[in-house]
C-alpha cells in the first residue's frame, strides 16, 4: 500500500468525526505546549541568573569568615571575627601570593540612612578604593572613596542609584548634600552607575563609606565581613584560591585545611549553586509537563481503541478483500501519528507563544532552542506510535469472520 | 480448482460445542456455476468462509488450486483473498460514505496496483455492472440493488478465478435479485468459477449444479437440468 493512499485514508477517517479528532489532539497540544513553554522559560531564567552573576566579575574570589559547609557538617567555627584588615594587606603584599591583582577588604552592615524627611534601610559597605577595580564598579557622577578618605577616617558617602532615588527622588543630584547614618552626618561625594539586579542581588541599593569610618566610627569592630580578591586572570583562579587559602591558614595558625575558619568561593561556585536550583526547578516543571503529555497520549490511545471497535466491520471487510496485518496496523498507526504530530506542531506554536509572552511579562530573555522544537515533534510522533500501536495491533489481530459478523 | 476433503468445523464456546460442518467432501471445476442450498443454520456460511480462506476447518483438508489452505501463513491467506477470490456478501459491505469508484478500487490498493490503472479498471467494472453513471455516488446514495452491483464489481477487481456470494439476493426484491443472477451467469460464461449460497430455490435454479446442505452435511449434490436463464434489464 502506497504512503499517499495510507495518508489519504487516515485523513478521511479523521475528518469523519471532527469534534472527536479535535478533542483527542487537544491533550497533545496542551502537553507539548507545556513542555516547550516550561523548558524554554527554565533555560531563560538560567541564562538570566548566569549573566547576572557573571556581571559581578569572572576573576572574582570572595573570602568570608566561617568554615565551609560540606555534607551538612560544619567544621571549626571561626566566628564572624576571623578576617582582619591585616589579612587583606598580607594577601596583597605577601611574596607567596603571585596571582592576585587587587584586594578589597569590606565591612558590610544594614543600617538606616536618613536624608531630610526620607529614610531607607540599606546596605552600608565600608570599603577602600580597590573596591571599584575588584568589583568592576563605575561612578556615574562625583568620585568613589579615596585613600585619603580611608586614612583620614572621613565621613563621606558614595550612594547607589536606588538609594539616591529613595532619599532624594528620581534623577536628583545629591552630591554635596548630606545623609545621616547612625546619627552621624556624611557628605555625599559620588553616585555609582546602575548595575541592575533585583531582590537579594540588587547592587544599586547600597551606600559606600570609607572602611576605617565603618569599622571605628559606625560599627565599632576591627574585623571584616569579606575580602574580595581579583585574580590576575580567569586561568589563575585556582592558583589564587590556593595561595590565598594557604596564606590565611598560616596567618591564622591552622595546619589542617579542614579546620579553616574562612571560606573562599568564586562566582562560578555561586553560579553552580544557582544553576542547580533553577535546573532542579526546570526539571520539576518539565516533569509535570511530561505527565500532561502522558495523559494526552493515553487520550489518543483511548480514542483509537474506540475507533477500532467502531470500525470492526470495516476491518473485517478490508481483510476479506486482501488487507494483510501490516496494512491494518499501518492504517491505524497513520491515524494516531497524524493526530499526535498535528497536536505536537500546534502545541509547539502554543508553547513558543506562551514562553514569549511570559518572558516579556517577567523580563527574561526570550530563548527558543531548536532542540526542544525537534524534540517536541519527535516526541509527539513517538507518542503516536507508542499509544497507537496497541489499538492498531488489536485491529490487525481481529479475525475477518468475527469482524464481519460484528453488529 | 476447489477440493474439499472430509471437512469438519466445530465451534466450541466454553462447554457448548456446535458442529457446523461434518465430513464435507466435494470438488468444483474451473468455470462451474454452483449453488449451495440449505435451511438457515445448515452451515452454508461456514462452508463459504472456509472456501474463501477467511476461516480454517477444524479437521479435513481444503485444497485450493493445489495448495492446502490450512497450511498457509496469514499473509499468504490475505494474498489468496485478494487475488483468487472475490466475495459478495448479503449485506453488500461497502465502505460507508465512500464513492462506488473507491470501493471497487480497494482490493487493487492492497494488491499495490498503480492509481491510474486502478481508476481505469474500476470504471470499466462499474460500466459492466451497469453503473457507469454512478461512479462518484457514495454507498448511502445508492439503492440496495445498486450497492450489490458495486459489490460485484469490487469482487471482480482483481479478476479472481472464484466468485463467492453468500445470499447475494437476500436483501433484494425479486427483480433486482434476477438482475444480480444474470450478472453471475455472464461471469460463469467467462470461465469464472461461481459459488452462490442461497436458501431460495428460484435463485439456486440459475446454477448448473446444486449442493444441498442440512445440519452441516451434504444430503444431495446434483446437476440442475431445469437451469433458468436470467435476463438483464433496466430497473
Ligand atoms: N462463531 C460461531 N460460534 C458458534 N457457533 C457458530 C458460529 N458461527 C456459526 N455458528 C453455528 O454454526 C451453525 C452454522 O452456521 P452458518 O454457517 O452461519 O449457517 P447458515 O449460513 O447456513 O445459516 C449454526 O448452528 C450457527 O449457530
Ligand atoms: Mg448464512
Dist. CA A292–CA A346, nearest whole Å: 15
> Which of A211, A238, A260 is the endpoint of a domain?
A260
Q: A89-98, A198-207, B37-46, B156-165 — which is least confidently predicted?
A: A198-207
Do A247 and A351 lie in one domain? The reply is no
Report if residue A283 sits inside a domain: yes
d(CA A206, CA A213): 16
CA B104 – CA B117 distance, rounded (Å): 12
Range of the domain at A223: 83-260
Based on the domain organization, do A375 and A396 belong to the same domain?
Answer: yes
CA distance A206 to A188: 13
pLDDT tens readout for residues A304-326: 999 999 999 999 999 999 999 99
Per-residue pLDDT of B84-103, as tens digits, reads: 999 999 999 999 889 999 99
> What pTM was estimated for this model as a whole?
0.74
Higher-scoring residue by pLDDT: A243, A277 = A243
The verdict on A375 and A332 lying in the same domain is: yes
Q: Which residues of B touch A321 (CB under 8 A)?
A: 81-82, 87, 106-107, 110, 154
Other beta carbons within 10 angstroms of residue A162's beta carbon come to 17
B44 close to ligand 1 (CB < 6 Angstrom)? yes
- Residues in B lying within 8 Å of A, measured between beta carbons: 49, 52, 54-55, 74-75, 78-79, 81-83, 87, 89, 93, 95, 97, 106-107, 109-112, 115, 154, 158
Whether residue A368 is contained in a domain is answered as yes
Residue, of B52 and A17, whose pLDDT is higher: B52
The pLDDT tens digits for A46-90 are 787 777 777 766 788 999 998 655 434 444 444 567 899 999 999
Please tell me the total count of domains within chain A: 2
**pLDDT above 90 as % of chain A:** 57
* A288 located within any domain: yes
Q: Is there a single domain that holds both residue A289 and residue A178?
A: no
Residues of A in contact with B109 (CB under 8 A): 1, 5
Q: Write down which residue in A191, A225, A260 finishes a domain.
A: A260
Residue A59: inside a domain, yes or no?
Answer: no
- Residues A199 and A143 both lie in one domain: yes
The DSSP output letter for B9 is E
Ligand minimally distant from the alpha carbon of residue B47: 1
* Structure confidence at residue B123 (pLDDT): 97
Kindly give the distance from the C-alpha atom of residue B1 to the centroid of ligand 1, in angstroms, as a whole number: 25
Residue B11, ligand 1, Cβ within 6 A = yes
Q: Which residue has the higher pLDDT, A34 or A198?
A: A34
Beta-carbon pairs below 8 A across chains A and B:
58
Domain B30-56+80-223: assigned CATH number: 3.40.50.300
Domain contains A345: yes
User: How many other C-beta atoms can be found within 10 angstroms of the C-beta atom of residue A361?
Assistant: 8
User: Does residue A235 belong to any structural domain of this protein?
Assistant: yes
Residues A163 and A187 in one domain: yes
Rounded to an integer, what distance in angstroms lies between the CA atom of residue B164 and that of residue B154? 12
With 80 as the cut, is the pLDDT of residue A252 above it? yes
Q: Give me the percent of chain B exceeding a pLDDT of 70.
A: 99
Q: Where are the domains of chain B?
A: 30-56+80-223
In a domain, A152, yes or no: yes
Amino acid at each position: 500500500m502506497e504512503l499517499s493512499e495510507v495518508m489519504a485514508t487516515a485523513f478521511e477517517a479523521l475528518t469523519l468525526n471532527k469534534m472527536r479528532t479535535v478533542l483527542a489532539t487537544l491533550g497533545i497540544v496542551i502537553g507539548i505546549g507545556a513542555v516547550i513553554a516550561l523548558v524554554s522559560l527554565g533555560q531563560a531564567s538560567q541564562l538570566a541568573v548566569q549573566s547576572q552573576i557573571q556581571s559581578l566579575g569572572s576573576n572574582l574570589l570572595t573570602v568570608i569568615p566561617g568554615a565551609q559547609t560540606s555534607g551538612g557538617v560544619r567544621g571549626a567555627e571561626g566566628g564572624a571575627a576571623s578576617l582582619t584588615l591585616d589579612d587583606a594587606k598580607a594577601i596583597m603584599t605577601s611574596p607567596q601570593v603571585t596571582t592576585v591583582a587587587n584586594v578589597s577588604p569590606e565591612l558590610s552592615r544594614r543600617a538606616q540612612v536618613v536624608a531630610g524627611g526620607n529614610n531607607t534601610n540599606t546596605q552600608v559597605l565600608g570599603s577602600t578604593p580597590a573596591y571599584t577595580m575588584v568589583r568592576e564598579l563605575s561612578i556615574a557622577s562625583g568620585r568613589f572613596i579615596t585613600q585619603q578618605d580611608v586614612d583620614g577616617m572621613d565621613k563621606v558617602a558614595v550612594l547607589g542609584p536606588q538609594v539616591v532615588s529613595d532619599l532624594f527622588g528620581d534623577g536628583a543630584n545629591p552630591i554635596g548634600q548630606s545623609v545621616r547614618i547612625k546619627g552621624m552626618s556624611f557628605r555625599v561625594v559620588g553616585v555609582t552607575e546602575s548595575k541592575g539586579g533585583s531582590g537579594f542581588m540588587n547592587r544599586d541599593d547600597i551606600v559606600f563609606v570609607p572602611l576605617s569610618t565603618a569599622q571605628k566610627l559606625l560599627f565599632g569592630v576591627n574585623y571584616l565581613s569579606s575580602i574580595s580578591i581579583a585574580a590576575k586572570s580567569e586561568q589563575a583562579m585556582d592558583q589564587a584560591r590556593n595561595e590565598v587559602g594557604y596564606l590565611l591558614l598560616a596567618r591564622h595558625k591552622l595546619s589542617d585545611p579542614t579546620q579553616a575558619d574562612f571560606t573562599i568561593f568564586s562566582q562560578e561556585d555561586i553560579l553552580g549553586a544557582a544553576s542547580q536550583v533553577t535546573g532542579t526547578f526546570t526539571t520539576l516543571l518539565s516533569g509535570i509537563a511530561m505527565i500532561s503529555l502522558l495523559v494526552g497520549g493515553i487520550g489518543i490511545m483511548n480514542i483509537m481503541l474506540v475507533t477500532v471497535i467502531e470500525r470492526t466491520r470495516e476491518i473485517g471487510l478490508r481483510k476479506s478483500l486482501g488487507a494483510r496485518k501490516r496494512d491494518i496496523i499501518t492504517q491505524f498507526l497513520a491515524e494516531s501519528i497524524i493526530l499526535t504530530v498535528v497536536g505536537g506542531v500546534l502545541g509547539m506554536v502554543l508553547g513558543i507563544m506562551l514562553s514569549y509572552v511570559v518572558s516579556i511579562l517577567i523580563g527574561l530573555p526570550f530563548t527558543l532552542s531548536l532542540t526542544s522544537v525537534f524534540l517536541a515533534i519527535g516526541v509527539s510522533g513517538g507518542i503516536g506510535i507508542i499509544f497507537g500501536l496497541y489499538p492498531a495491533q488489536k485491529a490487525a489481530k481481529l479475525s475477518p469472520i468475527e469482524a464481519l459478523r460484528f453488529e | 480448482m476447489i477440493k474439499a476433503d472430509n471437512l469438519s468445523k466445530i465451534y466450541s464456546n466454553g462447554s457448548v460445542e456446535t458442529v457446523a460442518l461434518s465430513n464435507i467432501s466435494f470438488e468444483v471445476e474451473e468455470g462451474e456455476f454452483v449453488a449451495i442450498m440449505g435451511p438457515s443454520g445448515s452451515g452454508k456460511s461456514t462452508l463459504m468462509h472456509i472456501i474463501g480462506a477467511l476461516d480454517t476447518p477444524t479437521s479435513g483438508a481444503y485444497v485450493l488450486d493445489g495448495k492446502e489452505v490450512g497450511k498457509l501463513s496469514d499473509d499468504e491467506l490475505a494474498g489468496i483473498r485478494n487475488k483468487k477470490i472475490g466475495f459478495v456478501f448479503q449485506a453488500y459491505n461497502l465502505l460507508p460514505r465512500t464513492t462506488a469508484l473507491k470501493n471497487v478500487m480497494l482490493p487493487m490498493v492492497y494488491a499495490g496496483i498503480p492509481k491510474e490503472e486502478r481508476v481505469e479498471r474500476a470504471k470499466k467494472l462499474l460500466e459492466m455492472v451497469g453503473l457507469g453513471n454512478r461512479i462518484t455516488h457514495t454507498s448511502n446514495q445508492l439503492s440496495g440493488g445498486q450497492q450489490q452491483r458495486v459489490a460485484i464489481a469490487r469482487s471482480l477487481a482483481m479478476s479472481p478465478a472464484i466468485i463467492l456470494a453468500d445470499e447475494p439476493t437476500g436483501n433484494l426484491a425479486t427483480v433486482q435479485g434476477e438482475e444480480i443472477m444474470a450478472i453471475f451467469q455472464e461471469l460463469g460464461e467467462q470461465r469464472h468459477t461461481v459459488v452462490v449460497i442461497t436458501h431460495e430455490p428460484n435463485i439456486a435454479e440459475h446454477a448448473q449444479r446444486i449442493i444441498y446442505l442440512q445440519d452441516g452435511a451434504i444430503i444431495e449434490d446434483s446437476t440442475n437440468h431445469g437451469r433458468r436463464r436470467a435476463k438483464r434489464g433496466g430497473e
